[in-house]
Structure 1
Amino acid sequence: GGMNEPGDQRFRSSDQLRSQMLKANVTRGRRMVCYDGSGIAASKLAFVLTLLGHDDVAVYDGGWAEWGDRLDLPVDR
């Protein structure tokens, strides 16, 4: 399922990032698909996850703007 992890536009130390990712149940070995409204913040998150050693990371280019408009795709509410 999807989750929202707010940020403040600044990179944190690797220890802070690892701690934040663990709290959000983001662990290595799981496929991670990053998305946002348009793909800009998602690209930054994918970059950070890769730096932290995640090797199965993708960005959903259409973002929520595309996914949310499609009635044939699942949405958890």
Structure 2
Amino acid sequence: MLSNIGIPGLVLIFILALIVFGPKKLPELGRAVGQTLSEFKKSARDLTSDIVKEIDEAKQDATVQVLTSDVVKKVDEVKKM
């Protein structure tokens, strides 16, 4: 998205932000945007981690169920002998 803007576009955005918010508010605004992006990245990382953990647990549960059913089948075969 930002790759199509280029340097002149970024300069224009900076000048417009300077005009709209003023030189005193601009650092505060930049800091707030940076903190917001940081929180968003952290939340996305945590969500990804939780999803991966749930998938791993589901795989382990499926493996346990398959192994359990195999053991039950073997026990039933032994009982029939």
Q: 1 or 2, which has the higher helix percentage?
A: 2
Q: Taking CA–CA contacts closer than 8 Å with sequence separation of 6 or more, which of the two structures ends up with the larger relative contact order?
A: 1
Q: 1 or 2, which has the higher strand percentage?
A: 1
Instruction: Provide TM-score, normalisation by structure 2.
Output: 0.25
Which protein is bigger by CA-based radius of gyration? 2
